[in-house]
Amino acid sequence: MCMKVKDIALLEKKLDYVFKNRELLREALTHKSLRKPYNNERLEFLGDAVLDLVVAEFLYNKFFQKNEGILSKMRASLVNEKSFYKLAMSIHLGDYINLSISEDNNGGRLKASLLSDAFEAIMAVIYIESGLNEVKRVFYPIMLGEFDIDENTLLRDYKSRLQEYTQEKFGCIPIYELLLQKGPDHKKSFTMQVKIGDNIYAIGEGASKKIAQQEAARITLEILENK
């Protein structure tokens, strides 16, 4: 499938951005399955770093009272394949990607990894052409249109992601158990552990049971994904 001018005009309308370098945009929208001399992998690499910074700056300014640990967790819940896939779907990015016939027939236009990579790549093009401020102008409305940017919503994502993962890989859901509760009422601390089947995977601590569960889920995801 080749890019058409009318197709790109629709994409530009959704992004509220007019691309200057059509050759670079073609590269961003070309999957490696097409076996062209170019594909979007290098731009995806750059776009990942750009969006990491853009999201970090947004959270830094919005949550000025939160510490580095909390900010890092919130950023991780937004800067990942699942989140970028959701953003790519919101602008129907799959309709504009150049794929091989076999990849297209195998549902490539709906694959999370493929779409998230392409989303990062087009953000890299905007960065190269117009700079970081223009990336923020384009990206922030898309992000805010798809996600509720508050601490509880963002941190809750770890538990959801872990449950999806364990259901797919193990056919069961994680169980959270309270190990310890300490401190006065105004400054309590909770320690929770995660069990998947008969195995204990991680322990998390926090100022509430929910936060402790999120921390335990985050650590467990890191363990499982690294394996």
Q: Given the residues 48, 103, 117, 215, select the one marked as catalytic.
A: 48
Strand order in the sheet with 175-182: 175-182, 189-196, 199-206
Judging by beta carbons within 10 Å of its beta carbon (0-12, 13-18, 19+), is residue 222 exposed, middle or buried? middle
Q: With helix as H, strand as E and coil as C, how does 130-151 read?
A: HCHHHHHHHHHHHHHHHCCCCH
d(CA 70, CA 92): 32
Q: Do β-strands 199-206 and 189-196 pair in parallel, antiparallel, or remain unpaired? A: antiparallel
Q: Given the residues 27, 103, 117, 120, select the one marked as catalytic.
A: 120
Whether 125 and 43 have beta carbons less than 8 Å apart is answered as: yes
Among the residues of 30-150, which ranges form H helices?
41-62, 68-78, 81-90, 101-105, 112-130, 132-146
Q: Is 146 an annotated catalytic residue?
A: no
Question: Pick from 187, 189, 162: which is nearest to 178 by CA?
Answer: 189
d(CA 199, CA 178): 15
Q: Is 120 an annotated catalytic residue?
A: yes
Whether 26 and 1 have beta carbons less than 8 Å apart is answered as: no
Using the 8-state DSSP alphabet, how is residue 158 labeled? H
Catalytic residues, which ones?
48, 120
